A = this chain, B = another copy of it.
């Protein structure tokens, strides 16, 4: 994609197409607004309405940002505007930060004024009981009648860091920069979205889009995924969902991502009865039949993470943008014990721990009789006596093993610069000579050396099981995105 469809339309707010919910063009006003109003902008910069106004106004967004607020006192230095009717022109995007009972009227007013999209962050709707349900039905009724798109209620907003759009009240923004990146994060849960954004940032992964959907009166996770799938700045899509009212729409969104070759990692909660009940209390979501979700994700080449940690691991690996050409994994170790750990984990994760070619195995056994040379390949602590042994073992695994991916366990070596630094040079050389493999290293290492390994193209993990699981996830995703389909250029080695 070389053209940005979001930026070509001169009259955006009035040109939205509400018919196809998964058409990202309908979300332009949401993710690429040119003007913003915050209804309920607070004079207190630390209140929710004060934070959203402050973050939207002060973080680089180039268009006008209007504080809509009763009273005449300035709102954090800006003159308040009494109502949406009084805006000098319709805002593309309206944040609604008012008590739940007032929110439907504000949404109606935004529609009347011709605004492009509303983000209702207020809580107190279907998640809170019968009264809230009635309020939510009023917003849903507006959504059915209008082209204006509505996010929420009960959400934490949207961000597009490339536009300087930080439309949220996550307090971490006071401490942390969230620069633009290539990961789209679409989360039904607002606080989950906040948490995951920070986890990604701490991993050096940044956001192209961030959208929290909350109770999903209109815009849902499927819309966000479809939008991200067509967004040229997005290379990886991370999604969190508790339920889904329209599985067909979700599957269609996953197909868009498949067509545009964007890997998706998803975290779907509510498997347990208690969890499902909690999901209902949270975003009024119906967790549905968990197996149906799993089947859909499997069909669509989406990786379903089992923990938040795994979600971030796999997202990070996807962002490195290399996928193994198949499931054959070579496991190399200087600890036989961890070789066993990795073998168990690899088999469990569906990787093929295929043995080394017999002649190569024999050669390595001749070099070091008490080594294991089948797969896992263990050159043992003897490496510490003679690192040329390690080099020859690794070379054999990479060059002659026929593996699509290699996972290398180096134990505590990273904590010993006298050993690690010369080894680092050789690892970089091996990596550079074999671009067609996915290579992961598991070891205890400081941040600086870890980053150096990552720059060289290694996936780096402290825990070997996480390394193996992540490589298996990449194989699953790559299998769908690049191998079952014609002409895929992005798999490693193609």
Contacts and interface: CB of A to CB of B under 8 A. Distances in A.
A269 interface: yes
Contacts of A335: 189-192, 194-195
Contact of A174 (B195, B306, B416): B416
A323 interface: no
Interface stretch (A24-32, A277-285, A433-441): A277-285
B378 A171 contact: no
Given A278-B372, A465-B308, A195 B411 contact: yes
* Size band of the interface chain A makes with B: 35 or more
A147 interface: no
A245 interface: no
Interface string A327-364: 00000011111111101111110000100000000000
A418 B370 contact: no
B346 A274 contact: yes
Contacts of A267: 341
Contact of A415 (B176, B273, B462): B176
Given A132-B370, A282-B340, A283-B336, A385 B47 contact: yes
Contact of A171 (B271, B272, B347, B384): B384
Interface stretch (A103-111, A122-130, A225-233): A122-130
A308 B464 contact: yes
Given A198-B412, A309-B465, A337-B192, A274 B123 contact: no
A316 to B, nearest CB: 14
A172 B278 contact: no
Contact of A381 (B190, B334, B382, B419): B190
A335 B240 CA distance: 13
Contacts of A127: 336, 370, 372
Interface in A304-334: 306-309, 333-334
A99 to B, nearest CB: 11
Interface in A155-200: 156, 169-172, 174-176, 187-192, 194-195, 198-199
A444 B198 contact: yes
Q: Find the residue from A51, A190, A191 having the highest chain B CB count within 10 A.
A: A191
A309 B341 CA distance: 12
Contacts of A175: 415-417
Given A189-B337, A191-B334, A336-B282, A343 B274 contact: yes
A270 interface: yes
Contacts of A462: 199, 309
Contacts of A224: none
A125 B380 CA distance: 13
12 contacts: A170-B412, A174-B416, A191-B333, A191-B335, A192-B335, A242-B337, A271-B344, A271-B348, A275-B344, A278-B378, A281-B372, A309-B462
Interface of A: 46-48, 51, 100, 123-125, 127-129, 131-132, 154, 156, 169-172, 174-176, 187-192, 194-195, 198-199, 202, 240, 242, 267, 269-275, 277-279, 281-283, 306-309, 333-341, 343-348, 353, 365, 369-372, 374-376, 378, 380-382, 384-385, 411-413, 415-419, 444, 462-466
